[in-house]
Amino acid sequence: MSKKVIAILRGDYIGPEIMEAGLKVLDAASKDSSFQYETIDYPFGGAAIDQYSEPLPQQTIAGCKKADAILLSAIGGPKWDTAKKRPEKGLLEIRNALGLFSNIRPTKVDPNLSHFSPVKQEILNETDFVIVRELTSGIYFGTPREQNEEKALDTTTYTAQEVKRILKIGFEMSMHRRKHVTIVDKANVLATSKLWRQVTEEFKKSYPEVTVDYNYVDAAAMKIITQPTAFDVIITANLFGDILSDEASVLTGSLGTIPSMSAGTDGPNLYEPIHGSAPDIAGKGIADPISMIQSIEMMLRESFNETLLADKIAAAVQKTIEDKIITPDLGGTATTQEVTANIVKNLKG
Ligand code: NAD
Ligand code: IPM
Ligand code: MN
């Protein structure tokens, strides 16, 4: 098998800490397997602003385009909050430059681990849903965008074609799951949401087996916490997906455990935790590496078809959590390094 190239964007604050942990696990898991890879680091985010005065240098776009997959930890933080061009802008640009219009954010509660959540176990039951977030349009990218002392303006735009292509990702996914799609929107107010519903009504005719329902985003935010098992595949716009996925992470116990995959029509996928650079805990050695390790697991599964390796990592992570070798975000006292070392140990059997 040919050697796969993985572009590495180490990020800011806890970014490098969890990336190092993730790469240790990837190295250990793949050692005695036929999966061969090399990693290439590229400057990105705040670190790239410091070095090149630009969060997304050209060399990084070019390198990522050539890679077989991209791993990103998290960028941004107070050091660059007043930068002319913030790290977050670089993140939006890389998603756009690579055409990564779909972002998959899973929420699956293992019944044995449901006590890690502040939500009651009987409510969590066997929660298992996926948020399919549109990632390269909506209010994040609409123009005009203006700001002066007196007034600011953001624009939300969606075309029917943009809605159709994200619906296709979500509906296809639902066919391998419980065949239930929920569109989350604000169609009682927003024109873009009305378009989403109109396009969905037509689109769903090609998927007669799929049950489709619509939830307003305010009610959905409540239902994710009170009735999480009501969802299978949530398909939603860029901003709503951003907010709801952080909320959904509470169901698994911590924002520090949720991975994601961003994909387009061709080219490499990008894998990253859903959380940010956690400046409040950076440098303390207590960042939860599980979101990064599970992003690597997702990469092995989705980009490289390495199901056995991915399963092995998933089992090792689960055992470490069950053994309560966990960081403070999950209520434990272990360090990033201890969690990582324990996962590596569990890989061996
Ligand atoms: P955040 O997600 O960084 O942190 C929110 C809370 O969750 C914090 O208390 C943090 O300590 C905790 N947390 C997050 N990840 C954790 C982990 N792995 N282990 C343990 N605890 C963890 O959100 P924020 O503080 O609002 O944002 C910080 C910076 O990150 C901002 O600049 C923001 O724009 C950026 N950000 C980047 C990304 C990304 O790179 N994809 C995503 C979200 C936010
Ligand atoms: C995320 C982040 C980003 C987003 C920010 C940092 C631009 O919150 O990946 O969820 O809003 O998409
Ligand atoms: Mn977010």
Read off the pLDDT of residues 252-290 as tens digits, 9 standing for 90 and up.
Answer: 999 999 999 999 999 999 999 999 999 999 999 999 999
Q: Is 27 an active-site residue?
A: no
Q: Is 218 an active-site residue?
A: yes
In one-letter notation, the amino acid at residue 292 is M
Q: Which residues form the pocket of ligand 2, taking CB atoms under 6 Å from any ligand atom? A: 76, 88, 91-92, 242, 274, 276
Residue 349's pLDDT band (boundaries 50, 70, 90)? confident
Whose alpha carbon is nearest atom 11 of ligand 1? 278
CA gap 41, 31 in Å, rounded: 20
Any atom of ligand 1 within 6 Å of the Cβ of 29? no
Catalytic annotation, pick one of 4, 186, 312, 329:
186
Any atom of ligand 1 within 6 Å of the Cβ of 256? yes
Q: Is 154 an active-site residue?
A: no
Q: How far is the CA of 239 from the centre of ligand 3 (A)?
A: 9
CA gap 5, 27 in Å, rounded: 14
What is the predicted pLDDT for the residue at 111?
Answer: 84
Residue where the block lists tokens 């890879």:
37
Any atom of ligand 1 within 6 Å of the Cβ of 316? no
CA gap 75, 47 in Å, rounded: 9
pLDDT in tens, 14-40: 999 999 999 999 999 999 899 999 999
Please choose from 17, 94, 277 the residue to mutate so as to test ligand 1's pocket, defined by most ligand atoms within 8 A of CB.
277
Q: pTM of the full predicted structure? A: 0.98
Q: How far is the CA of 190 from the centre of ligand 3 (A)?
A: 22
Q: Are 244 and 234 a contacting pair, CB within 8 Å? A: yes
| Nearest ligand by distance to the CA of 75 | 1
1 has pLDDT over 70: no
Any atom of ligand 1 within 6 Å of the Cβ of 253? no
Q: Is 68 an active-site residue?
A: no
CA gap 292, 46 in Å, rounded: 19
Q: Is 41 an active-site residue?
A: no
Any atom of ligand 1 within 6 Å of the Cβ of 88? yes
Instruction: For each of the domains in the chain, give its residue range(s) and CATH number, in order of start.
Output: 1-98+267-349 (3.40.718.10), 102-262 (3.40.718.10)
Do the interacting molecules here have an ipTM over 0.90? yes
Any atom of ligand 1 within 6 Å of the Cβ of 12? no
pLDDT in tens, 222-253: 999 999 999 999 999 999 999 999 999 999 99
Torsion from C-alpha of 92, 96, 97, 99, nearest 10 degrees? 140
